[in-house]
């Protein structure tokens, strides 16, 4: 075989490698683009559907497809405080402030998070609660050895509140390439713009990713009330007072004894 | 049935809230008190954030005082001049209260200050009530004549300058203690979510010597307006007044209060005060236990910026 042939084969193989990186395409859709919070809101559930499309030239691979779907809420700064004894009474002493952390984080995966990819990749894409980037303020008084306690407590409290969750093996494959998952949204869910990130892995490599959006908003009376309490707070206070005096007065008149 | 609270941003059981409003309303009708010092702790213990509980109860106190004030206006049992002096103090106190409240909230020490203050006030007031009512019951049993004389004609308060004449109360007294009393109770009421009637009434009787027939109406009238000011200050500054929660509490409260008032007429005054004293002490102890026992969870989180802050 001549050198020219060899070069050609290398070229084809290289092309194959390049096309391999973009061979899988991930498409997802949501059961609802918007979650509206009204007076009877007690939490809901969104369904995420998706399809992995593979171009026909791609050679079918050995490994199984693995997926991670992350629903992430708008960011917040959160202070985590720890109680200590002060003059015999338990009061908040040390604290750590976490900056720009998601207000809501729910991850669903096809397998355990550790098996999706290596640690660096999980950290880079913030896949799983242990891989979230929880940045703290520089002026923290907490000794380095105790920082992790605050981090763990923060994650635990958010999990207990239902705002952070990891649901492993919660993505169901309907066919070889179609999948779906249900993500419960609790009643205390923060409002704002949510991101829905879907990541496709195979043999520890990230093949493809896509991002969608979901809006969680108060609607109707809840929205008007909330916005008024923020934007026209004085008027809101006045209305509360008038309502109170009116209710009291009506009651006083209805139930008058003499 | 669940009801979503737009400011607290949590759903609550509407019947639980109506029930709490009703139960506290019943007690307030029974004992002739505002009930804020019972309602605020109940809301806190049931999981409503302390800041929302305190601010919302100030609104509820407006409604419960308003329903009673109607009767006192009709009977003309209010000293408007005295009430307006108390009110001037009250609004100032309330403004200071909301500034402190905001500061404590940003320092993360609001909850502990609320708890400590409740322990201090409730155990003091509860013990005083208990002692007083036991004495009264003993006196009644030993058959001694219960004198209802107003104690001593003059005390140190009557030596203070800036005297003002309050004709309706037949008083000629310095403006300083009147304004001071209004300010202290307005301050405490705003920080703790209480009307403060249970402190105002004894203070007016024993410190200022206001005739008993005018005390309750004047106190209620003043509390209604001070708490109205507190509601507006809270709404503007801490933004924690939940109007839906307030309305639910009011509805439960006014109905409960009417039932309580009817029941109260069948019980003796000293027995009522004994029961109230025990109740006040119990709430105080509950807060003390929370402060002294090793907490189940040492950690807590608070949103400082972004959605829900």
- Alpha-carbon gap, residue A52 to B182, rounded angstroms: 71
Fold of A23-218: Immunoglobulin-like (2.60.40)
Alpha carbon distance B125, A64 (integer Å) = 71
Q: Which residues contact B230 (CB under 8 A, 6 or more apart)?
A: B58, B94, B97, B98, B186, B189, B190
Question: Which H or E element spans position A21?
Answer: helix A3-21
Q: Residue A98's closest CA among A150, A61, A58?
A: A150
* B24 lies in some domain: yes
- pLDDT band, residue A62 (cuts 50/70/90): low
Residue B91 domain flag: yes
Q: Averaged over B261-286, what is the pLDDT? A: 81
pTM for the complete prediction? 0.78
Strands (E), chain A: 24-30, 34-37, 44-54, 65-72, 75-86, 89-102, 105-109, 135-136, 164-167, 172-173, 178-185, 192-202, 205-218
* pLDDT at res. A5: 57
- Show Cβ contacts of residue A168 under 8 Å, excluding neighbours closer than 6 positions: A108, A109, A111, A112, A113
Which of A76, A91, A156 comes nearest B112 by C-beta? A91
8 A C-beta contact, residue A181 and residue A109:
no
Q: For residue range B31-45, what is the model confidence (pLDDT) as tens digits?
A: 777 788 889 988 988
Domains of chain A: which residue ranges?
A: 23-218, 219-258
- Lowest average pLDDT, out of A16-25, A128-137, B10-19, goes to A16-25
Low-confidence winner among A157-161, B160-164, B214-218 (lowest mean pLDDT): B160-164
Q: Which residue has the higher pLDDT, A1 or A114?
A: A114
- Residue B59 and residue B231 in contact, taking contact as beta carbons nearer than 8 Å: yes
Residue B145's pLDDT band, with cuts at 50, 70 and 90, is low
Sort A104 into a burial class: Cβ within 10 Å, 0-12 / 13-18 / 19+: buried
Residues 6+ apart with CB under 8 A from B42: B20, B24
Token pair listed for B197 = 């009637």
Task: For residues B250 and B57, give the distance between their C-alpha atoms in angstroms, rounded to a whole number.
Answer: 9
The model's pLDDT over A190-217, given as tens digits with 9 standing for 90+, comes to 889 999 999 999 888 898 899 999 999 8
Cβ–Cβ contact B106 with A under 8 A = no
Identify the burial level of B108 via C-beta atoms within 10 angstroms of its C-beta, where 0-12 means exposed, 13-18 middle and 19 or more buried.
Answer: middle
The string of DSSP codes covering B232-299 is: HHHHHHT----HHHHHHHHHHHHHHHHHHHHHHTTS-HHHHHHHHHHHHHHHHHHHHHHHHSPPS-SE
Tell whether A173 is within 8 A of chain B (Cβ). no
Chain A stretch 119-148, residues whose beta carbon is closer than 8 A to a beta carbon of chain B: none
B278 found inside a domain: yes
- Do the Cβ atoms of A237 and B234 come within 8 Å? yes
Please name the helix (run of DSSP H) or strand (run of DSSP E) that holds residue B36, with its range, or none.
helix B36-45
CA angle A154/A32/A53 to nearest 5° reads 95
Question: If you average pLDDT over residues B163-190, what whole number do you get?
Answer: 87
Q: How far apart are CA A130 and CA B104, in angstroms?
A: 33
Give the pair of three-digit tokens for residue A23. Answer: 């061979």
Among the partner-chain residues A76, A90, A258, the one whose CB lies closest to the CB of B295 is A90
Chain A to chain B Cβ contacts (< 8 Å): 213
**Terminal Cα distance for chain A, rounded:** 116
Dihedral angle over CA of A174, A176, A177, A183, nearest 10: 40
The Cα–Cα gap between B38 and A152 comes to: 36
Predicted pLDDT of residue A233: 93
Quick check: B62 contacting A, CB < 8 Å? yes
Task: Report helix, strand and coil shares of chain B as percent, to nearest 5.
Answer: 70, 10, 20
B104 and chain A: CB distance < 8 Å anywhere? no
**Chain B interface, best mutation among A248, A249, A253, A256, by max B CB count within 10 A:** A248
Judge whether B39 and B60 are in contact, CB under 8 Å.
Answer: yes
Residue B176, in any domain of the structure: yes
Token pair 């969608």 in the structure block, residue: A212
With a cut of 0.90, is the ipTM above it? no
Rounded-to-integer distance, Cα B93 and Cα B192, Å: 13
Q: List the 131-170 stretch of B: residues with Cβ below 8 A of A.
A: none
Give A18's pLDDT tier (boundaries 50, 70, 90). Answer: very low
Report yes or no: A69 and A197 within 8 Å, Cβ to Cβ. Answer: yes
Query: Any long-range contacts for A150-155 (C-beta under 8 Å, 24+ apart)?
Result: A150/A80, A150/A82, A150/A94, A150/A96, A150/B299, A151/A96, A153/A80, A153/A82, A153/B298, A153/B299, A154/A78, A154/A80, A154/A96, A154/A98, A154/B299, A154/B301, A155/A129
The 10s digit of each residue's pLDDT in A39-52 is 888 889 999 999 98
Tell me whether residues B301 and A157 touch, CB distance under 8 A. yes
Question: Are β-strands B2-5 and A65-72 bridged in parallel, bridged antiparallel, or unpaired?
Answer: unpaired
pLDDT at B16: 92
pLDDT for B193-237, tens place per residue? 888 887 888 888 888 888 877 888 888 888 899 999 999 999 998
In a domain, B149, yes or no: no
CA distance B203 to B92: 19
Do residues A201 and A117 touch, judged by C-beta distance below 8 A? Answer: yes
| pLDDT, mean over chain B | 84
pLDDT value at residue A19: 46
The reply to whether A31 touches chain B by the CB within 8 Å rule is: no
Smallest Cβ–Cβ distance between A237 and the set B3, B67, B241 belongs to B241
A255 vs B66, B258, B297: nearest CB:
B258
Q: What is the pLDDT of residue A16?
A: 47
| Average pLDDT estimate for A159-187 | 91
B296 touches chain A (CB under 8 A): no
- Determine contact: B308 vs chain A, CB below 8 A: yes
Average pLDDT for A239-258 = 84
Give Cα separations from B294 to A90, B44, B297 (angstroms): 7, 19, 9
Q: Is B308 inside a domain boundary?
A: no
Whether A236 contacts chain B with CB within 8 A: yes
Following DSSP, what letter does each residue of B127-147 receive, concatenated?
Answer: HHHHHHHHHHHHHHHHT----
Residues of A in contact with B7 (CB under 8 A): 225-226, 229
Q: Is A247 on the interface with B (CB under 8 A)?
A: yes
CB-CB under 8 Å, B232 with A237: yes
Which parts of B143-196 fold into alpha helices (H)? 175-192
Task: Report CA-CA distances (Å) from A79 to A147, A194, B50, B74, B115.
Answer: 13, 22, 17, 52, 21
For the cut 80, the answer to whether the pLDDT of residue B56 exceeds it is: yes
CB atoms within 10 A of CB B51: 25
Residues 215-254 (B) with a CB less than 8 A from some CB of A: 224, 228, 231-237, 239, 241, 243-244, 246-247, 250-251, 254
| Chain B nearest-CA residue for A149 | B299
pLDDT of B306: 65
Q: What is the distance in angstroms between the Cα of B157 and the nearest Cα belonging to chain A? A: 34
- By three-state DSSP, how is residue A89 classified? strand
Query: Residue B120 belongs to what domain range?
Result: 2-140+155-287
Domain count, chain B: 1
CA distance A239 to chain B (A): 9
Chain B contact set for A154 (CB, 8 A): 299, 301
Query: Which residues from chain A sit within 8 angstroms of residue B246, using beta carbons?
Result: 240, 243-244
Q: Which residue has the tokens 């990749």?
A: A121
Domain contains B235:
yes
């Amino acid at each position: 075989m001549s050198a020219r042939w060899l070069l050609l084969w290398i070229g084809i193989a290289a092309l194959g490698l390049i096309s391999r990186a973009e061979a899988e395409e991930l498409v997802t859709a949501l059961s609802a683009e918007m979650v509206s919070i009204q007076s009877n809101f007690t939490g809901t559930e969104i369904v995420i559907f998706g399809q992995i499309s593979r171009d026909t030239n791609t050679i079918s691979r050995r490994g199984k497809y693995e997926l991670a779907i992350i629903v992430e809420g708008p960011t917040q700064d959160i202070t985590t405080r720890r109680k200590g004894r002060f003059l015999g009474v338990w009061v908040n002493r040390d604290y750590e402030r976490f900056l720009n952390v998601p207000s809501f984080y729910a991850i669903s995966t096809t397998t355990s998070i550790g098996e999706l990819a290596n640690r660096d990749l999980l950290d880079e894409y913030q896949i799983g609660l242990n891989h979230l980037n929880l940045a703290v303020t520089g002026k923290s008084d907490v000794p380095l050895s105790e920082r992790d306690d605050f981090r763990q407590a923060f994650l635990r409290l958010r999990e207990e509140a239902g705002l952070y969750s990891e649901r492993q093996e919660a993505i169901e494959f309907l066919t070889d390439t179609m999948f779906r998952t249900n993500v419960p949204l609790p009643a205390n869910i923060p409002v704002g713009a949510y991101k829905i990130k879907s990541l496709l892995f195979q043999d520890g490599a990230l093949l493809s990713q896509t991002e969608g959006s979901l809006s969680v908003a108060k609607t109707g009376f809840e929205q008007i009330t909330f916005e008024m309490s923020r934007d026209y707070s004085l008027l809101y206070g006045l209305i509360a007072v008038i309502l109170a005096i009116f209710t009291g007065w009506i009651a006083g008149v209805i139930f008058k004894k003499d | 049935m669940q009801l979503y609270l737009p400011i607290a941003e949590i759903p609550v059981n509407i019947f639980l809230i109506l029930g709490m409003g009703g139960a506290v309303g019943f007690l307030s009708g029974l004992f002739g008190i505002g009930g804020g010092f019972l309602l605020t702790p109940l809301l806190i213990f049931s999981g409503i954030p302390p800041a929302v509980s305190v601010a919302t109860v100030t609104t509820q106190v407006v409604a419960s005082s308003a329903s009673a004030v109607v009767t006192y206006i009709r009977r003309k049992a209010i000293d408007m001049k005295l009430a307006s002096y108390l009110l001037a103090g009250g609004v100032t106190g309330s403004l200071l209260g909301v500034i402190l409240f905001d500061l404590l909230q940003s320092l993360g020490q609001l909850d502990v200050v609320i708890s400590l203050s409740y322990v201090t006030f409730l155990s003091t007031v509860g013990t005083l009530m208990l002692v007083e009512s036991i004495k009264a019951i003993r006196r009644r049993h030993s058959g001694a004549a219960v004198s209802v004389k107003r104690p001593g004609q003059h005390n140190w308060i009557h030596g203070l300058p800036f005297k003002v004449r309050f004709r309706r109360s037949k008083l000629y007294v310095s403006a300083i203690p009147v304004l001071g009393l209004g300010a202290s109770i307005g301050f405490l009421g705003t920080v703790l979510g209480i009307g403060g009637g249970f402190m105002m009434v004894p203070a007016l009787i024993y410190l200022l010597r206001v005739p008993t027939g005018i005390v309750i109406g004047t106190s209620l009238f003043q509390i209604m307006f001070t708490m109205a000011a507190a509601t507006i200050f809270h709404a503007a500054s801490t933004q924690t007044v939940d109007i839906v929660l307030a309305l639910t509490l009011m509805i439960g409260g006014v109905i409960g209060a009417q039932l309580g008032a009817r029941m109260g007429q069948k019980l003796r005054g000293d027995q009522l005060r004994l029961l109230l004293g025990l109740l006040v002490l119990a709430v105080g102890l509950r807060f003390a236990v929370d402060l002294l026992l090793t907490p189940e969870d040492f950690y807590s989180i608070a949103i400082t910026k972004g959605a829900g802050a």
